[in-house]
Amino acid sequence: MNKRYINNFAIIGTGMVGTAIGFLLKKAGYKITAIVDKSPAALKRAQAYTGGEVFRNPQEAVRKADCILLTTPDDAISYACKEIALCPAIKNKFVFHMSGAGDLDMLDAAKKAGAAVASIHPLQSFSSIDQAIKNIPGSYFAITADKKAQAPARNIVRDLRGIPFFISSDQKPLYHAAACIASNYLVALMNTVESIYQAIGLNEKDAKKAYLPLVYGSLRNIENSGSIPSLTGPIARGDSGTIKKHVSAINKNLPQYSSLYSSLGLITVKVAQKKGTLNARQAKEINAILKGEKNEHAK
C-alpha cells in the first residue's frame, strides 16, 4: 500500500458512487468513519457496505475524517462544500469530489477554509452498487488536484486498483463528454438498434441476442487493433448503393432516426478515409447521399 496521507474518510452522499467507493476504500484498508445522507434508506444501505457511523450533520462528519469525499449529485457539490467549510476542523484536511465534468471551483469554499482539494473520477458506469464494485478495479481515474492533494489522490486511486491520470480543470468538460459518448450514447445507440429490429418483427429479447455478438466482436476488434483498422461495412467499402437503400428505408419507415444515421455516417466517412479504403470521389458521393444532396455521381 502507498505511503498514507489519508487514513480515513467521511462520505457525504451515499448513492451508488459513494457507497461503492466506500466499500472499495474499506477493502483497501482505509476506515470509513462517517457517512452522511438525507435519505435514511440510503444511509442504512451504505452502512452495511462501508461500516461507517451515520451522521445527519455534515459538519460533524468533518471532524471524524482525514478526507471528506463529496459524492452528492453534481448540482449539490458546491452547496455541500460550503456547508462543511463552516466547520473549523476542515483546515489542513482533504476534500475530494467525484464529478466527471465539475472542476475544482466546486470546492473553493473548502480551499479557502484551508483544505487541500481534488477531483477523482472513475471512467466507468454505475448501474448498481454491486456492479460498480466489480467494475471499478482496473478502471482509469481522471484526477484534477491542487498541488498538496496530487500525491494523496494518486495513491488512493492506486489503492482502489485504479489507473490514475491527471487532467486540468479546463479539460474536464471534454473528458466527460467523451465518457458520455462512450457509455451513455452507446446505450442510446443500442436502444436504437433494438427499435429498428423490433420494427421488422423481432422482439426485444431476440433483437438483443441478434446484435450483441456483432457489438462484442466489434469491441474485440477495437481492443486488439484500434478503432480505425476495425472499421468495416458499406461506407468503408465505398458502397454508395447500399447507403442509398439505408437512407431511403429509414426515411420511409423510421424517420426519427434519419439524422442519427446521417450524422454517424458522415463521421464514418472520415474514419474510412483515415483507414485508406475510401477515396475522395467515393467520400464526396456518400457524403452527398447522407446530406440529402443531389450529386452527379449518386445518380
For residue 299, pLDDT beyond 70: no
What distance in Å separates the CA atoms of residue 162 and residue 80, rounded to the nearest whole number?
Answer: 26
Distinct helix (H) and strand (E) counts, the chain? 14, 8
Q: What is the distance between the alpha carbons of residues 1 and 7, in angstroms, rounded to a whole number? A: 12
Confidence band, pLDDT 50/70/90 cuts, at residue 2: very low
CA atoms within 13 A on the CB side of 249: 11
Cell of 186: 452507446
* Per-residue pLDDT at 1: 37
**pLDDT tens digits for 25-66?**
999 999 999 999 999 999 999 999 999 999 988 998 999 999
**pLDDT for 120:** 96
Mean pLDDT of 201-230: 96
Please give the share of the chain, as a percent, with pLDDT higher than 90: 92
| Digit-coded pLDDT (tens) for 73-122 | 899 999 999 999 999 999 999 999 999 999 999 999 999 999 999 999 99
CATH number for 8-171: choose from 3.40.50.620, 3.40.50.720, 2.70.150.10, 3.60.21.10. 3.40.50.720
Helix (H, G, I), strand (E, B) or coil at 168: coil
Q: What is the pLDDT of residue 297?
A: 45
Task: Output the pLDDT for position 298.
Answer: 40
HEC secondary structure over 19-71? HHHHHHHHHCCCEEEEEECCCHHHHHHHHHHHCCCEECCHHHHHCCCCEEEEC
Which of 106-110, 125-129, 230-234, 268-272 shows the lowest mean pLDDT across its residues? 125-129
Domain layout of the chain by residue ranges = 8-171, 182-298
**Residue-level pLDDT at 293:** 83
Most confident of 105-119, 122-136, 284-298: 105-119
Q: What are the pLDDT digits (tens) for 9-32?
A: 999 999 999 999 999 999 999 999
Mean pLDDT of the residues in the chain: 93
Q: What 8-state DSSP symbol labels residue 229?
A: T
